[in-house]
Structure 1
Amino acid sequence: MVEIKNLNLSYKQDENILKDISMTVKRGECILLTGKSGSGKSSIINSVNGLSTRYDGAVLNGELMVDGKEIKALELYEVSMLVSSVFQNPKTHFFNVNTTIELLFYLENIGLSRSEMDERLAEMLKVFPIEHLLNRDIFKLSGGEKQILCIAASFIAGTNVIVLDEPSSNLDEKNIEIVREMLIKLKKKGITLIVSEHRIFYLMDIADQVFLVENGKIQGRYKIDDFKKLSVEELNALGLRDKIKTKLRVPENPNKGSLEIKSMEFNFKGTDKKIYLKNMIFETGKIYGIIGTNGLGKSTFLRCLIGVEKLSKEEIYLNGSKLSKKDRLKLSALVMQDVNHQLFTDSVIDEVGLGIKNIEKDKLENILKGLGLYEFKDCHPMSLSGGQKQRVAIASVLAKNSELVFFDEPTSGMDYANMIKISHLIRQNRREDNIIFIVSHDTEFLNTTADYVVRIY
C-alpha cells in the first residue's frame, strides 16, 4: 500500500516541482499517472522509489508511506526492498551482460543463498515463461526483450510495489501487448502498480484510477470507468492521447521518387539476421514512416542509409547521382532514439544552433517557440525532462535544413499536445528537395505526419 499526503518536492532553492500531492494506492491496485511532458509524473515515481532525494538531491516534504514505512526515514537499500522500478530506457537498469545473472543480481546483493535465488527464478518462470531470454547477451536483445527482462527482474525482487515510468516507450504493438499481459499477472499477484504513461490505451483494462498531473499538481482524479467515458476531444484538450489503440492509416502506391536504394546489405554479427533490400524508391518532398517489430533492424536501416554503418554495402542514388557513405553523411541529420547521446552544449538555444553557420536568431527562437521550448532557451539541456530533451534534439535537426532528415522514435515519452506540435513542425519543414524518414511505433503520430508508410520485415 502507498500513502502520499501533502507531498512537496523541490531542488535546492527552486520552486516546488511537486505541489501538495496526495493519493492512496491500495494493495493490488494499479494507478495511471498521465499528463503533459515535464508535468511531474516521473518526479512522483522517483519520490516513491526514493531516487529523487538520494540520487537527484531533491528536498521532500510531506508524508510518503510504503507498506507502513516512511520513505524519508529509510536508506536507499531499504527502500529497494519495498519498491522495484522499471524505467523508460531499459539500458539504465543493467549491470551485467548475461541475462540470467542480471535477473539474480539484486538477490545476490541482498545476500540470498544460491538455493533461494534458484527458487525465486523458478517461481518467476512460472508466472512469466521467458526461458528463451535466459543466458543471453543483454546487448543482443531487442528493445522489447530488454523491457520484458526489466519487468521480470522487478518481480523477482519480491517487492509489493512496482513503479513503471513510460514502460511502453519505443515498443511495437506486439511487445506492448506482452507488457500488458505481464502487468495483468503482477496485479493478480497482489502487487501494487504505479505507472506513468502517455500511451494509455493498453492500460484501460488494468488501471483502477487515473491521475492527471499538470505543473506538479494533481489536476484530475478519475475512477477508470469515468475516465473511459471521456471523448477523444476531451482527452486531447487535456493534452492526452487516445485511450483506444489507433489503427495505422496506410496510403497506397508509395513507389515513385528520386532517392533510389538499388541495393542495401548488412549482416548482424553473431546471428543469421541480415538486412537485404533492393529497388526501393523514395520521392523528395515526402515524409516516410518506417515500421516493423522491435529488434528487426529499423534503426540499423537508418544508419545504413545515413552512411555510418562501416560494414554495410549500399548502392544509393539521389536524383540520378550515386552517393557514397561520405556524401550521404554530409546530406543527413538525425534525431537518435536516446537523445542523451547528442546533447553537447550548456544551453538549449546554443544546442539548437550548434554547427550551423550564420543562422538567424529569430529562426532559432521561432523553432523553440513552435516546440514549447522558448522559456527554457537558457537552461542546460540535461536539466530538462525526457520529453523536453527529445524536443531539443528535434529542434536542432529542423534548424539544419538537411536534404535527408531522420527521426528514430521522435515521440518517445511525449504527450499528445507536444506530439502534435512536432508533427506540425516536421510537416512545415518538409521541402521539395528533402526527404524525411521516421522510425516509429507511434501510429497516432504517423497518421498525422507521414505521407507514406514502409514496413520492414
Structure 2
Amino acid sequence: MIRFENVSVTYDGAYEPAVQDIDFTVPEGELTLLVGPSGTGKSTVLGAVSGLVPHFTGGTLRGRVTVAGRDTRTHKPRELADVVGTVGQDPLSHFVTDTVEDELAYGMESLGLAPDVMRRRVEETLDLLGLNELRDRPIATLSGGQQQRVAIGSVLTPHPKVLVLDEPTSALDPAAAEEVLAVLQRLVHDLGTTVLMAEHRLERVVHYADRVVLLPSSGARPVLGTPPEVMAVSPVYPPVVDLGRLAGWSPLPLTIRDARRSAGELRERLADIAPVNGRLPHGDTSPRKDPNPRPEVPAPRRFLRRRTTRTAPDTSTPHPAAAVTALAVHRDRVEALRHVELTVTPGETVALMGRNGAGKSTLLAALVGLVEPTRGSVRVGGAVPHRAAPRDLVQRVGLVPQEPRDLLYADTVAAECAAADRDAGAAEGSCRALVSELLPGVGDDTHPRDLSEGQRLALALAVVLTARPPLLLLDEPTRGLDYAAKARLVSILRALAAEGHAIVLATHDVELAAEIAHRVVVLADGEVVADGPTADVVVASPSFAPQVTKVLAPQRWLTVSQVREALSS
C-alpha cells in the first residue's frame, strides 16, 4: 500500500538530508510504527506519504514514494485526500470549521459524499471516539486532548485506505489513548486500513504494531522488523522493555501481561527490599514515611551552579508557593473547576492528572492569572495572579503552555532571548545561557518554527526560567519528547526543586509523574478526587499506574531506576 524506494529529503537551506536511504514497504491492512530519537526525520517520512513533503514544506525529495500506486511527487495532497488521512502533531492546524460535528463532516463534504452517508459516519465516529457529548461544542473550548480526538475523527469519517498519524496519543489521557488505539486496531483488523504512525510514548502503542521501523540517529539505514526484534536493538524503548532488559528476560515483553508472566523470580528478589529515595519535599529533613519513595538522580552541576544573579527562593518560612481555596471557574457555558483546594510548598513537585477536559489546564491558567476565579481565591507568593501587574507576576510564576509556540513570537532564538531578558529584568545574556545548556548547538539565527516540538519546549522553558519564578507551571511538558529528552527534562526539574522552586505540571504521562512528582492530584469534572503522595495515588489506580507498578504489583515499585538501584545495592 505504501512504498518507499531509496528516499532522501533535503530541506531548503539545510546542509544535510533530513532523512536518507529510506526503503521499506507497508503492506495493506498493517499498522506500522515509526520509532527513533527526536530529530531522526519521523515527521518527514510521514509527510512524504501524504504529499505534504515536498509540496507544502518545500525542499528536494529524491527517490520515490507511492501510495495505492500514486506517486506523491506528481500527486499533490489534495489529489491524495481520498486515499490518505493525516493527523499531525498540532491538531489546531487541521481544523477548518468551528464545531465538533461540522469538523467531522467537512472532509466528506469536500469529497462530495451523499448527506445520508455523511450523517451515518458522523454518528459512528462520535460513538467510536467518545465525542457524542461534545458534538455541539465549539472546538476552541475543548481541551488539547479533546481536540486531538476530534482531529483523528475528522480523518476517519471519509474512510481513507491509509492513515498517517504523528503522535496521535500525545495529548490524550491513558483511558482515551487506549480507546483511540483500540479503534485504530479495529480499522486495521476488520476493514484492512493501513496505518503508519510515529509515537514517542511507546509504552502505549508498541504492542499494537505489526511491524516497527527504527530510524537511527547516526544516518544508518532504517531497521525494519517485528516489535520484539526492533525493541531488542532500539535506543528508544518503553519501561516494560527496559525492565525486561534489566532482568534478562527473553523474549523481551511488550505488554504488562507478558512481563508479569516472567516477573516471578524478580518479585522474589525484591520482596525484602524497600524502594530507596533521597528526595524529600524541600525543607523536610525528617525520615520520609512514604512506603514507596523514588531514587534520586543527580542534578546537572552547571544548572545548579548558575544561580548567581538572583536570590534563591526563601524556604525558611512555611508560606506556600501557591494557595487555592474553594476555587470555581466558569468558561463560557462550562463549569471548568468547582471547589478546588490546593496548596503547593516551595521545593515540591505536584503532578495534576485526570481525563481530558478535567480542568488541569484551567487550574494552571488560574495560577498564572489568565482566568479570573468565578468564586474562591488564588494566591501565588502572596499576590492575586489575575490582579497582579505582569512585571510583578513574572517574578512569581511562570507557565510553559501546552503549545510552546504560544510563548514564541520573535523571528530568531537570539531575539526571543533578548526579549526574555528585558521582560524579566535579568542581566543581558541570561536567557541565552539557559538555551545553550538546554539546546546545545542551536544557533542565534535559528527561527523557532524550524525547531522540533521538543526543542521549542526547551526554548519556551528557557524563556520562562529567565525570570527565575519561585513557582513553575508546565502543561503537558513531554509532548514531542523522546525518552532521552524526557530524562534531561526530569534532571532539570529535579534541580529546580532542589533549589526551592515549586513545580506544578499537568500531564497524562504516568511515567513522568512516577519519576518526578512528590504528590499527585487527580481532577475529574473540575473537582479534586485524589490528592496524596505519588505512590499512594498511582499504585491504587489502574489508569495512572506506571508500567513497572503493574508488572511488580502487589509490590510498590514505580520506576525501572528504583529496581536497578535495589538490585545493585
TM bin, normalised by shorter chain, reads 0.7 to 0.9
Go from structure 1 to structure 2 and tell me whether the alpha carbon gap of 1:350 and 1:451 turns closer, same or farther (over 3 Å shift): farther
Q: Kindly state the Cα deviation for residue 450 of structure 1 after the two structures are TM-superposed.
A: 2.3
2: distance between equivalents of 1:265 and 1:126?
30
Superposed, 1:430-441 pairs within 5 Å as 430=497, 432-441=499-508
Query: Does structure 2 retain, via aligned residues, the 8 Å contact 1:315–1:322?
Result: no
1: distance between equivalents of 2:228 and 2:6?
26
Go from structure 1 to structure 2 and tell me whether the alpha carbon gap of 1:283 and 1:63 turns closer, same or farther (over 3 Å shift): same
1:5 counterpart residue number: 5
1:84 maps to 2:85:
yes
Query: Does structure 1 retain, via aligned residues, the 8 Å contact 2:168–2:199?
Result: yes
Instruction: Tell me the TM-score normalised to structure 1 length.
Output: 0.88
1:359 maps to 2:361:
no
Q: Kindly state the Cα deviation for residue 336 of structure 1 after the two structures are TM-superposed.
A: 0.7
Q: Kindly state the Cα deviation for residue 44 of structure 1 after the two structures are TM-superposed.
A: 0.5
Secondary structure in 2 aligned to 1:182? helix
Secondary structure in 2 aligned to 1:31? strand
1: distance between equivalents of 2:478 and 2:37?
12
Query: Does structure 2 retain, via aligned residues, the 8 Å contact 1:200–1:241?
Result: yes
Go from structure 1 to structure 2 and tell me whether the alpha carbon gap of 1:324 and 1:221 turns closer, same or farther (over 3 Å shift): closer
Go from structure 1 to structure 2 and tell me whether the alpha carbon gap of 1:245 and 1:273 turns closer, same or farther (over 3 Å shift): farther
2:352 counterpart residue number: 290
1: distance between equivalents of 2:124 and 2:367?
45
1: distance between equivalents of 2:118 and 2:325?
53
2: distance between equivalents of 1:47 and 1:134?
32
1:54 maps to 2:55:
yes
Q: Which range moved further: 344-353 or 15-24?
A: 344-353
2: distance between equivalents of 1:181 and 1:69?
29
1:281 maps to 2:343:
yes
Superposed, 1:192-211 pairs within 5 Å as 192-211=194-213
Q: Kindly state the Cα deviation for residue 71 of structure 1 after the two structures are TM-superposed.
A: 1.2
Q: Which range moved further: 405-414 or 128-137?
A: 128-137
Query: Does structure 2 retain, via aligned residues, the 8 Å contact 1:86–1:150?
Result: yes
Amino acid in structure 1 at the alignment position of 2:10 = S
Secondary structure in 1 aligned to 2:480? coil
Query: Does structure 1 retain, via aligned residues, the 8 Å contact 2:210–2:226?
Result: yes
2: distance between equivalents of 1:418 and 1:96?
35
Q: Kindly state the Cα deviation for residue 153 of structure 1 after the two structures are TM-superposed.
A: 2.3
Q: Tell me the alpha carbon deviations over residues 16-64 of structure 1, each in whole angstroms, 9 at most, x when there is no partner.
A: 1111111100000111111122220000011110112121112211010
Secondary structure in 2 aligned to 1:205? helix
Superposed, 1:106-185 pairs within 5 Å as 106-118=107-119, 120-121=121-122, 131-185=132-186
Query: Does structure 2 retain, via aligned residues, the 8 Å contact 1:83–1:162?
Result: yes
1:19 maps to 2:34:
no
Q: Tell me the alpha carbon deviations over residues 261-295 of structure 1, each in whole angstroms, 9 at most, x when there is no partner.
A: 333221232134533223x3221122221112110
Amino acid in structure 1 at the alignment position of 2:183 = M
Secondary structure in 1 aligned to 2:520? strand
2: distance between equivalents of 1:432 and 1:37?
29
Query: Does structure 2 retain, via aligned residues, the 8 Å contact 1:349–1:364?
Result: no
1:407 maps to 2:474:
yes
Go from structure 1 to structure 2 and tell me whether the alpha carbon gap of 1:120 and 1:308 turns closer, same or farther (over 3 Å shift): closer
Q: Tell me the alpha carbon deviations over residues 80-103 of structure 1, each in whole angstroms, 9 at most, x when there is no partner.
A: 122111222222221112322211
1: distance between equivalents of 2:126 and 2:491?
45
Query: Does structure 2 retain, via aligned residues, the 8 Å contact 1:266–1:274?
Result: yes
2:260 counterpart residue number: none
Q: Kindly state the Cα deviation for residue 316 of structure 1 after the two structures are TM-superposed.
A: 4.2
1:242 maps to 2:306:
no
Amino acid in structure 2 at the alignment position of 1:226 = E
Query: Does structure 1 retain, via aligned residues, the 8 Å contact 2:329–2:335?
Result: no
Amino acid in structure 2 at the alignment position of 1:315 = S
Amino acid in structure 2 at the alignment position of 1:202 = R
Q: Kindly state the Cα deviation for residue 392 of structure 1 after the two structures are TM-superposed.
A: 1.1
Superposed, 1:215-230 pairs within 5 Å as 215=217, 218-227=221-230, 230=232
State the identity %. 28
1: distance between equivalents of 2:236 and 2:413?
24
Query: Does structure 2 retain, via aligned residues, the 8 Å contact 1:17–1:40?
Result: yes
1:381 counterpart residue number: 448
2:386 counterpart residue number: 325
Q: Which runs of 5+ in 1 are unaligned?
A: none
1:343 counterpart residue number: 408
Go from structure 1 to structure 2 and tell me whether the alpha carbon gap of 1:315 and 1:429 turns closer, same or farther (over 3 Å shift): same
Query: Does structure 1 retain, via aligned residues, the 8 Å contact 2:89–2:166?
Result: yes
1: distance between equivalents of 2:335 and 2:130?
25
Q: Which range moved further: 33-42 or 345-354?
A: 345-354
1: distance between equivalents of 2:134 and 2:326?
33
Q: Tell me the alpha carbon deviations over residues 114-164 of structure 1, each in whole angstroms, 9 at most, x when there is no partner.
A: 244335446657866754443443334343333233223222212211000
1: distance between equivalents of 2:475 and 2:481?
14
Amino acid in structure 2 at the alignment position of 1:43 = T
Query: Does structure 2 retain, via aligned residues, the 8 Å contact 1:371–1:418?
Result: no
Query: Does structure 2 retain, via aligned residues, the 8 Å contact 1:212–1:221?
Result: yes
Q: Kindly state the Cα deviation for residue 240 of structure 1 after the two structures are TM-superposed.
A: 4.0
Query: Does structure 1 retain, via aligned residues, the 8 Å contact 2:129–2:149?
Result: no
Query: Does structure 1 retain, via aligned residues, the 8 Å contact 2:148–2:171?
Result: no
1: distance between equivalents of 2:2 and 2:185?
19
Q: Tell me the alpha carbon deviations over residues 174-212 of structure 1, each in whole angstroms, 9 at most, x when there is no partner.
A: 111111111111112101100010001222332111112
Higher relative contact order (CA 8 A, sep 6+): 1
1:74 counterpart residue number: 75
Secondary structure in 2 aligned to 1:162? strand
1:449 maps to 2:516:
yes
Go from structure 1 to structure 2 and tell me whether the alpha carbon gap of 1:245 and 1:431 turns closer, same or farther (over 3 Å shift): farther
2: distance between equivalents of 1:380 and 1:201?
33
Go from structure 1 to structure 2 and tell me whether the alpha carbon gap of 1:245 and 1:392 turns closer, same or farther (over 3 Å shift): farther
1: distance between equivalents of 2:138 and 2:110?
21
Q: Which range moved further: 4-13 or 141-150?
A: 141-150
Q: CA RMSD for the aligned pairs?
A: 2.9
1:269 counterpart residue number: 332
1:302 counterpart residue number: 364
Secondary structure in 1 aligned to 2:474? strand
Go from structure 1 to structure 2 and tell me whether the alpha carbon gap of 1:271 and 1:372 turns closer, same or farther (over 3 Å shift): closer
Query: Does structure 2 retain, via aligned residues, the 8 Å contact 1:266–1:276?
Result: no
Superposed, 1:25-40 pairs within 5 Å as 25-40=26-41
